[in-house]
């Protein structure tokens, strides 16, 4: 007898996960370009989770600016910016008094298909992104498709050739500080030649290589002044000495790790399935025993794995993981959803428009 396939976005999780999110008073946003979604995960209570998937074409990097309560999402051809309204959340017509945050679309930057990976708000509230196709860091604004602001010293020309697979960005005091790349290549897609041995971490300020020989590094993150990186091909969390570049493996997760966010001593780390049919990534499948998609929770001070979420359907590859602090049940409205036009925010008032009885506003 054939078993029915699991419903969309089916997942299992250890009991610690909802209890932890409930206790921390936060939610998780994950992006999956494979499924074309951003998914909000929240604790219903200390025993169960709820999910809110939203459509975003080729969703990649997720950024937050707590000062202005904004989110940004890098998508296939654009970077979208949203702003939270607690008032709209409380009176959301479909579900009043359910959500404590409502991220409404406020701006769209039409960048074209740049294969943007990580994105961050800077100290001035602007957006800095990793332009992987053109091997540079870029400013996101309305002047051009992109404005290059930094490139590795070994890349001699800004060209749409994905020369080194620049992907990750860590900010320090609102400025770009460290990046990750798969190689020091200066030719079209030269990073594919030896992907498990040529990865690097670079210091943006000095434009020098800090650490090398890394296995597909992603998601550089500064935590309490220390630099951490995920090496996707080995499934490891690695600490990099910011002075010497020496590497220390903090934990092994046995799967393809990418996407990392830190809150209150806990790291939330994305796990992806391996594309076994891919010539580039298929070779990794044999060395990673945990070929599952989900999120691992890691207690950094004790180096302990304290929980995991595993997907049975829909989500296979995760790019980014971002903890939304202080929000237990957030919502986000895609600009393609016509309901966003009914939410009206002004400096001194906020309301949902009510259509007239004859169907006209």
| Residue 154 pLDDT > 70 | yes
pTM over 0.75: yes
- Work out the angle at residue 182's Cα, subtended by the Cα atoms of residues 180 and 183, and round it to the nearest 5 degrees: 110
pLDDT in tens, 210-255: 999 999 999 999 999 999 999 999 999 999 999 999 999 999 999 9
- Give which of 211, 218, 185 is closest to 319, Cα–Cα: 218
Domain coordinates in residue numbering, the chain: 11-343
Percent of the chain with pLDDT over 70: 95
| Residue 358 pLDDT > 70 | no
Beta bridge partners of 229: 238
| Residue 286 pLDDT > 70 | no
> Can you tell me which residue has the tokens 């004859």?
358
Mean pLDDT within 277-299: 80
CA dist 355 and 361 (Å) reads 5
| Residue 90 pLDDT > 80 | yes
Give the three-state DSSP class for 17. Answer: helix
Local structure of residue 4 (DSSP, 8 states): P
Q: Is the dihedral of CA 156, 161, 164, 170 positive or negative?
A: positive
On whether the CB atoms of residues 355 and 339 are closer than 8 A, the answer is: no
| Residue 2 pLDDT > 80 | no
| Residue 151 pLDDT > 90 | yes
CA dist 181 and 168 (Å) reads 7
Mean pLDDT within 258-266: 98
Q: How many residues does the chain have?
A: 361
Residue 312: phi and psi, rounded to 5, are -100, -15
| Residue 37 pLDDT > 70 | yes
Q: What is the pLDDT of residue 280?
A: 67
Q: What is the pLDDT of residue 360?
A: 47
CA dist 328 and 281 (Å) reads 36
Q: What is the pLDDT of residue 279?
A: 64
Q: What is the pLDDT of residue 277?
A: 66
| Residue 323 pLDDT > 80 | yes
Q: What is the pLDDT of residue 287?
A: 73
Beta bridge partners of 13: 309
Percent of the chain with pLDDT over 90: 90
| Residue 356 pLDDT > 60 | no
- Work out the angle at residue 164's Cα, subtended by the Cα atoms of residues 159 and 166, and round it to the nearest 5 degrees: 90
E strand spans, 205-246: 208-214, 217-223, 226-231, 236-240
CA dist 248 and 105 (Å) reads 41
Residue 193: phi and psi, rounded to 5, are -70, -40
pLDDT bucket at 1, cuts 50 / 70 / 90: low
CA dist 192 and 283 (Å) reads 12
Q: What is the pLDDT of residue 126?
A: 98
| Residue 281 pLDDT > 90 | no
- Give which of 347, 345, 348, 344 is closest to 361, Cα–Cα: 344
- Give which of 101, 109, 144 is closest to 127, Cα–Cα: 109
CATH topology of domain 11-343: Neuraminidase (2.120.10)
Mean pLDDT within 78-86: 98
On whether the CB atoms of residues 146 and 140 are closer than 8 A, the answer is: yes
- Give which of 26, 81, 82 is closest to 49, Cα–Cα: 26
On whether the CB atoms of residues 316 and 277 are closer than 8 A, the answer is: no
Mean pLDDT within 105-115: 98
Mean pLDDT score across all residues of the chain? 95
| Residue 4 pLDDT > 90 | no
| Residue 23 pLDDT > 60 | yes
CA dist 263 and 144 (Å) reads 35
Q: What is the pLDDT of residue 354?
A: 84
- For 114-144, the DSSP string reads --EEEEEE-TTS-EEEEETTTTEEEEE-SSS
- Give which of 90, 181, 197 is closest to 135, Cα–Cα: 181
| Residue 295 pLDDT > 80 | yes
pLDDT bucket at 206, cuts 50 / 70 / 90: very high
């Amino acid at each position: 007898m054939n078993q029915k396939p699991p419903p969309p976005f089916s997942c299992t999780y250890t009991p610690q996960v909802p209890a932890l999110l409930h206790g921390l008073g936060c939610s998780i946003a994950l992006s999956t370009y494979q499924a074309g979604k951003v998914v909000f995960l929240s604790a219903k209570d200390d025993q169960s989770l709820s999910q809110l998937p939203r459509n975003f074409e080729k969703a990649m990097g997720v950024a937050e600016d707590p000062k202005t309560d904004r989110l940004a999402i890098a998508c296939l051809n654009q970077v979208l910016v949203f702003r939270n309204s607690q008032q709209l959340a409380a009176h959301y017509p479909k579900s009043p008094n359910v959500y404590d945050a409502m991220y409404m679309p406020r701006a769209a930057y039409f960048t074209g298909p740049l294969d943007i990976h990580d994105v961050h708000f800077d100290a001035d509230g602007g957006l800095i992104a990793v332009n992987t196709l053109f091997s540079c860091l870029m400013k996101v604004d309305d002047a051009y498709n992109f404005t290059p602001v930094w490139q590795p010293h070994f890349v001699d020309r800004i060209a749409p050739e994905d020369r080194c697979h620049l992907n990750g960005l860590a900010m320090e005091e609102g400025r770009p500080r460290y990046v990750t790349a798969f190689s020091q290549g200066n030719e079209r897609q030269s990073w594919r030649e030896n992907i498990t041995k040529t990865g690097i971490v670079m210091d943006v300020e000095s434009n020098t290589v800090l650490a090398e020989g890394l296995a597909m590094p992603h998601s550089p993150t500064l935590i309490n002044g220390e630099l951490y990186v995920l090496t996707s091909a080995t499934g490891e969390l690695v600490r990099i000495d910011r002075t010497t570049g020496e590497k220390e493996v903090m934990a092994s997760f046995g799967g393809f790790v990418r996407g990392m966010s830190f809150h209150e001593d806990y790291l939330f780390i994305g796990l992806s399935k391996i594309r076994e049919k891919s010539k580039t990534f298929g070779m990794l499948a044999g060395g990673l025993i945990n070929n599952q998609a989900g999120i691992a929770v890691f207690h950094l001070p004790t180096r302990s794995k304290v929980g995991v979420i595993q997907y049975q359907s829909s989500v296979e590859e995760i790019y980014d993981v971002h903890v939304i602090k202080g929000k237990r049940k957030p919502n986000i409205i895609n600009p393609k959803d016509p309901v966003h036009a009914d939410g009206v925010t002004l400096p001194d008032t906020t309301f949902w428009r009510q259509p007239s009885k004859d169907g006209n506003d």
